[in-house]
Structure 1
Amino acid sequence: MFATVLKHFSSQLDIDDLFVPYPFSAYLIGNKIEDYLIHKENNKSIKFLRDFINNYHIESTFILDNHQLILNEQSQGFPLIIDYNESLTISFNVSILKISNNSFDISLLTFDIQDTYSIQIPINKITNNTQIAIIFQLNEQNIKVYINNECRIYECPIIKKLNIYILPTLDVAIQNLAIWKYALSEEHIQRLFTSGLSYIAIDYYQLNEYRKQINTITFTTNQQDFENDLLISFNEIKCEKNNIEINKDKSKYFNINNGNIQLFGNKTYLILNKSIDPWIEYTFIFDISINHLPITLVRLNIQSKICITYDGQLCISINNEQNIQNELRFEVLSSNGQTYELVPNGKNIPITLSNFKDYCSYYREYRLNEFYRQIDCIRQGLYSVIPGYFLSLFTANELEEMICGKGEMDIELLKRNTIYSGHYNKDSLSIQRFWTILREIFNEEQKKMFLKFVWGRCTLPNCDDDFETKFHIEPYILSNELIDGALPRAHTCTFVLDLPEYSTIDIMYDRLNYAITYCTSIDGDGNMNEAPIPTDLESDSATED
């Protein structure tokens, strides 16, 4: 016990963020093709490419196919109008669908100045899903073009407004389009080509989940309608068979000035459209300017409402009977459900602006010491097993780690105890992508699922000396047409991962995430292919005992 407790702790290394900084706009990102496009509410025939970051959506007439935007040889290319006087960076992935046999160069982009300016690149530099980054250094009058991390520099004239056409008169497909309003550094370009942009889509969908819970509604001058479907304005409601008639001329009912919304008339309201999401609990936070009292703040139903009385007190009115809400007192509800007075006679002392600071101090002191007696008993029991002076050698986090294991997976510790086989080494592109996914893209739950997938356990050893078995990564040899469709394969008894050489980091993330989610059984040698494999994946991979 003492030997375990007194073992040397290896300090956790600080890991620099390996992602490229967030772009200003991003399009055609992620794996949900249905989210690539948005439509105007009043005209579904007009479609826009969704900006996953700043809502600068781009109107587009091109079609989508297999997560790519398809350009054709009859088009001028993908248009971008950028009015910017300094530097900027554009990045995208491209695949050539068809090219004439006698072509040696292709036009990467053109843009209109006094004379049309064009940049040509060798066609042999473009392979399937080639990543390209273009840096416009307008002050230096040059353009840097990175093709799969190989840089070329082109001179260009002074430009004030860019009318860019990407890949004109070509049958090509593009995706992962991003724009930065400055020139990315060499370090950031390396990050871009190593880590990709998949983190943008991950963040986007996480934010969407948060927005389902928190809806912030803002108002702008001369606004004619509410973009958020949760809010509806109306004046007169006619309830006929549970149907609500709402006059669509909303300008009669409200005006917006300097971010404030002004409602007209005594029967004008804002409706929270509860039918969108059947919530049970609600929290409303808003600022309000009141000219006259009384006023109804929230009408809950026909019988109930929350209002402010003539003398400024908040009350709940049920069937026109008002119940004035009691003020907060110097008391607190304890963890066992009982009310405890923070000061003598606290139940009779209301909280005011003058004593609010005292209330906060008493409240904090109570919460910090609420479980003092229970904790003291635990402390005495622990000291009966391990003398207290030994425990003082460690911080709370160190002691927890020694007893319970690492709460977070130390990727650098795993990396130091990894052996590469075949033609793989630490500098291989697939290996760099693998560690980027494990370190930066996977969350803690996914990391634990991955460890269970490859080793049958959810925590790493505490230090290098505890690794009795090293982690092995071996190439998964497949024909080229099968690589991107295959799943990785794990051998849990020997701590080995067979990793295919996927063409992109996004594909590698998808296949790893699918494998750790659906192929985690270590007892199903004969049933490894029974997981619900998608139609676009090969069913030749799983966790093997």
Structure 2
Amino acid sequence: MDSEAVDQDALGLTFVHEIEELGTRKVVELCPGGRSMVVNSENRRQYVDSLIQHRFVIAIAEQVAHFAQGFADIMSCRRLQRSFFQCLDPEDLDWMLHGSEREISVDDWKAHTEYHGFVESDVQISWFWKIVGRMTREQKKVLLFFWTSIKYLPVEGFSGLASRLYIYRTSESFERLPSSHTCFYRLCFPAYPTITVMQDRLRIITQEHVGCSFGILVKRRLPNSCMIWNRNHLLAREDHDVRTHDLKVATRVREEADSPYSIL
């Protein structure tokens, strides 16, 4: 990552992150005075470490402690052990902890999606679900991740998510690719003129070789057309999304911070 670009506040980040609490969003400082501490080339590693610690350790410490205590109570009582494991397969426990590996149901996906600017009978919506239905299992997971930051659904499917999903119509040029507001489960795109154009745009955002860090899209020896899209896609994201999107790739930022890839 280019140090000069970071020091020019290109990331627009401070030492805070947003959490959801009882249906409302609140900002939590990663360290004392974090609201006024700008991420730069010297402290970016500290920012990533603090973000990971708060997101994946501190934020769930109480829940994990209660789970561990409850599981310990079960394991310490032979009667509870028998009743617990008799009705639970190993796959069930894996689903509860990791999420379902089953094929994503497009019908379930569609049933839990609402539209703003579009209506369900619009030809673009019909094209969209037809394209999604033709996607491979991995492409569907990548699209869901791009849309929501979730790659594995809970056991209940889309009904187990905290919110319904939304598709928003934008007034942008047809050349622009879809953008997402992952905090609000929103996918945004213009009214593409043909199914071929829409399929091409969705194909690009479901390619695994398009990567991000700190909400800044980077090129990985991609053709010029993809580099142009990366630049456009970054501009399509609101500041809110730039601040939160970095959580998607927090585990990869350490490597990318020192990589030779160019910032677009």
TM-score, normalised to structure 1, is: 0.25
Q: Which has the higher helix share?
A: 2
Q: Which has the higher strand share?
A: 1
TM-score, normalised to structure 2, is: 0.49
**Bigger radius of gyration:** 1
Question: Larger RCO: Structure 1 or Structure 2 (Cα < 8 Å, ≥ 6 residues apart)?
Answer: 2
